[in-house]
Amino acid sequence: MSSFSFTVQARDGAARAGRLVTPHGEIETPAFMPVGTAAAVKAVTARDLVEVGAQIILANTYHLMLRPGAEVVAGLGGLHGFTSWKGPFLTDSGGYQVFSLAGLRKLDEEGVRFKSHLDGSPHMLSPERSMEVQQLLGADVIMAFDECPPYPAPREAVDEATARTTRWAVRSRSAKTRDDQWLFGIVQGGVHLDLRERSARELVALDFPGYAVGGLSVGEPKEDMMRVLSHLQPLLPESKPRYLMGVGTPEDLIEGVHRGIDMFDCVMPTRNARNGQVFTSQGRLSIRNARFRDDPRPLDPACSCPTCRTASRAYLRHLHLAGEMTAATLLTLHNLFHYLDTLKEVGQSIRLGRFQDLRERRLAGPRAEVPEP
């Protein structure tokens, strides 16, 4: 356990800048974790990820248990032996994907039986099986098995799922045997502040080394998400890392940091890149737009990523419209750099006591399509 630590090094209001140390490397927080669903971040290589400044990658337990199988990954040395990424990994519990992707689910107190979305084969996830799979995968940070209710859902259903999440957290903790992994608990409770508070208090009593906030960004209004985060902020231990799962836009990340969050993951920068949607310091743009046909400028003249250093909007538009995979690679590199660089800048602003200035500037800035030149 001594190879793990989390230190808050600076505060500005509720915002924190710190350092998470894991057996496979250190992560400066606030941190963004690119999503590597199938043990690879789509369209880029591990070398690319190092170059754009990634420090930790998220991999999906659900996908990897189905293909190639957790036992196959374990036989090749876990995620660190199997993949080309040698830095820290985090795996999710599998719960979220079971509820959003798998077919023919059957949920009871034991766990969830489901059919693979790939081939219909039957599988089961429970706290014990999720821990077994995540221990076979060998990520540095692993997640307790939780039930993530849909939005909207009746309050009673959310109440039930939240209570079960606590019971499953107890079982997850008991089932974990490896001491070179940190297990985080997941707070549920939907948009109900009292359920969120109960969930947080129950999980904090279990003394996990870190806490995630799950069940947000599932369709609820953004104000509700922010209300939940504000409410949870004083309830979660100051000295432990806090991870907001599956969120969001660069502005959402800044608002999360403002409410005490240290870690984020989201498919938005990578998925949007493959669809030609680009994040820039001047707002978002769609590379398909006809006005970029002859535009010799980089995606973002203020950006120093490998794509902005070497490719024009005109060239990227051409590659995207021609269906060239290279377009996905170059736009993914840019979007990831934009996310990672945004949180780097956020961290620096916290250390300098200027986070609120940055927050106000970024949130007042353009977010939509880049205006005409």
State the minimum distance, in angstroms, from the CB of residue 320 to a copy of itself. Answer: 11
State the minimum distance, in angstroms, from the CB of residue 313 to a copy of itself. Answer: 10
β-partners of residue 22 are 25
C-alpha distances in Å from residue 115, one per residue of 72, 124, 125: 20, 8, 11
* Site of interaction with a copy of itself (CB under 8 A): 38-47, 67-68, 72, 75-77, 81-84, 293-294, 296, 306, 310-312, 314-315, 317-319, 321-322, 324-326, 328-330
State the minimum distance, in angstroms, from the CB of residue 66 to a copy of itself. Answer: 10
Give the nearer residue to a copy of itself in terms of CB position, either 50 or 157.
50
β-partners of residue 58 are 35, 90
Residue 265 known to be catalytic? yes
Give the nearer residue to a copy of itself in terms of CB position, either 1 or 322.
322
Give the nearer residue to a copy of itself in terms of CB position, either 18 or 138.
138
Q: Tokens 């505060």 — which residue?
A: 11
Buried b (16+ CB within 10 A) or exposed e, 267-295: ebbbebbbebbbbbbbebbebeeeebeeb
68/315 Cα distance (integer angstroms): 36
Marked catalytic residue, from 12, 92, 146, 341: 92
108/113 Cα distance (integer angstroms): 9
State the minimum distance, in angstroms, from the CB of residue 91 to a copy of itself. Answer: 16
State the minimum distance, in angstroms, from the CB of residue 274 to a copy of itself. Answer: 8
Question: What token pair was written down for 199?
Answer: 């969930």
Marked catalytic residue, from 12, 140, 265, 300: 265
The bridge status of strand 5-12 relative to strand 15-22 is: antiparallel
Give the nearer residue to a copy of itself in terms of CB position, either 176 or 317.
317
Residue 300 known to be catalytic? no
Give the nearer residue to a copy of itself in terms of CB position, either 36 or 250.
36
The dihedral region occupied by 138, where left means phi > 0, alpha psi between -120 and 50, and beta the remainder, is left
349/17 Cα distance (integer angstroms): 9
8 Å CB contact between 330 and 319: yes
Active site residues: 92, 265
